[in-house]
Copies of this chain bind each other. A is one copy, B any other.
Amino acid sequence: MYALQQKILSEGIVLSEQVLKVDAFLNHQIDPELMRQIGVEFAERFKDAGITKIITIEASGIAPAVMTGLVLGVPVIFARKYQSLTLKDDLYRSKVFSFTKQTESTIAISNKYLHSEDKVLIIDDFLANGHAALALVDLISQANATVCGIGIVIEKSFQTGRKLLDEKGFKVESLARVKSLTDGQVSFVES
């Protein structure tokens, strides 16, 4: 997705050969018009998959997921990283290790909003080693619902997540695929 690649080149910051910081438009400050375009793009790529629900993780997945849900006309569920007082229903839970924060956390969704007939699109901001996506797959499996696709805003293709998800047979669509972050430069996988 050209507009996203240009935004990464102009406003992304390479912190190391592993870490790309996009706090300027996705992870802290959000560019709503770019998110709308991202939603349109994801909707186009998954329009024939019969999606009934989108699942993401708080917080950075919410904006692209909601914009996608708006175009596809389906609800969005964001998995929560903690158990709040008002989220006391029976929960599906899974553990996820965050590469960025180097911590393990539990994510959860209520069993009220996800059912066996649901065809689910997973949306997330980053794909690195695939742990977050697989934790979401686990939650969806607990509901006996079907994962129909995985939409990623920025994929770090030099890490293992994409290969892992491909091997498991998921349809993965990444809007920007970062080949490397060497020498402080972002280079993309040729499309």
Contacts and interface: CB of A to CB of B under 8 A. Distances in A.
A75 B35 CA distance: 11
Contacts of A63: 62-63, 66, 76
A23 interface: yes
A50 interface: no
29 contacts: A15-B86, A19-B86, A24-B112, A27-B87, A28-B78, A28-B109, A28-B110, A29-B110, A29-B113, A30-B62, A30-B65, A30-B69, A30-B75, A30-B76, A30-B77, A32-B66, A32-B67, A32-B70, A33-B73, A35-B66, A36-B70, A62-B63, A62-B66, A63-B63, A63-B66, A66-B67, A84-B100, A84-B101, A85-B101
